Amino acid sequence: MAGAPYPTAVSDSGPAGAAAYVSGGGLQGRRLLALAVAAVVFAAAAAVLLRGPEFDVDDVQLVVWLATGLRLAEQRWWPRRSARLVWRPQVVGRYAVESGLVARRSLAGWVVLLTELAWAAPVALGAISLLPDEPGWARNARAVLLVGVAAVLARVAYGEARYTGRLALTASGVRHRDRHYPWSNIDRARLAVVDGRVDGVRLRLIVRESLAPAPVVGGRGVAVSDERLLAAIEHFRCRPAALAVGLPVTAPEPAVAPAGG
pLDDT digits (tens, 9 = 90+) for 158-205: 999 999 999 999 999 999 999 999 999 999 999 999 888 888 999 999
> Mean pLDDT throughout 143-156?
88
Half-sphere exposure of 73 (CA within 13 A, CB side): 16
Q: Is residue 255 part of a domain?
A: no
Give how many domains the chain has, as a whole number: 1
Q: In whole angstroms, what is the distance from residue 110 CA to residue 74 CA?
A: 10
Q: In whole angstroms, what is the distance from residue 149 CA to residue 167 CA?
A: 27
Residue 170: what pLDDT? 95
Percentage with pLDDT > 70 across the chain? 80
Q: Is residue 224 part of a domain?
A: yes
Q: Is residue 117 part of a domain?
A: yes
Residue 17: what pLDDT? 35
Pair type for strands 86-92 and 173-176:
unpaired
Q: What is the pTM of this model?
A: 0.78
Q: In whole angstroms, what is the distance from residue 146 CA to residue 144 CA?
A: 6
> Mean pLDDT throughout 72-94?
85
Task: Specify the DSSP element, H or E, that contains 59.
Answer: helix 57-76
> Mean pLDDT throughout 9-15?
36
> Mean pLDDT throughout 5-23?
39
Q: Is residue 236 part of a domain?
A: yes
For 24-67, the pLDDT digits (tens) are: 557 888 999 999 999 999 999 899 888 866 666 566 677 777 77
**Could you tell me if 243 and 96 are in contact, meaning their C-beta atoms sit under 8 angstroms apart?**
no
Q: In whole angstroms, what is the distance from residue 111 CA to residue 132 CA?
A: 35
Residue ranges making up the domain that contains 131 = 8-243
Residue 11: what pLDDT? 35
Q: Is residue 113 part of a domain?
A: yes
Q: Is residue 256 part of a domain?
A: no
Q: In whole angstroms, what is the distance from residue 57 CA to residue 39 CA?
A: 30
Question: Residue 154: is its pLDDT beyond 80?
Answer: yes
Q: Is residue 253 part of a domain?
A: no
Q: Is residue 1 part of a domain?
A: no
